[in-house]
């Protein structure tokens, strides 16, 4: 049974196959959807660098954007709270 959530976390990779991505995520215990994507999506969301993080609200508006780098646990918690309230 799938629980209702305020938002989804999706990881994408435009350079690997869907099977590779699925197996990679399972091997690391990831519970969120992983997918491949079309390059048009990268263009539409102005993704120009690897490891771009984008928070998109329920209206399709980008409310968060971060480039390459690792964010602290606190930063991720703040972002997830913001996204869960941004509806």
pLDDT tens-place string over residues 20-40: 888 888 898 887 777 777 788
What is the model's pLDDT at position 1?
40
What is the model's pLDDT at position 55?
82
Which residue has 């994507």 as its token pair?
37
Mean pLDDT of the chain: 76
Which residue has 């995520």 as its token pair?
25
Residue 21 CB coordination number (10 Å): 19
Kindly indicate the confidence band of residue 4, based on its pLDDT and cuts at 50, 70 and 90.
low
């Amino acid at each position: 049974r799938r629980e209702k959530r305020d938002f989804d976390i999706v990881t994408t990779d435009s350079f690997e196959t869907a099977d590779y991505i699925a197996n990679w995520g399972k091997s690391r215990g990831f519970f969120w959807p992983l997918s491949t994507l079309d390059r048009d999506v990268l263009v539409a969301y102005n993704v120009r660098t690897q490891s771009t993080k984008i928070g998109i609200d329920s209206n399709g508006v980008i409310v968060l954007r971060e480039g390459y780098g690792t964010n602290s646990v606190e930063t991720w918690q703040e972002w997830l709270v913001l996204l869960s309230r941004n509806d």
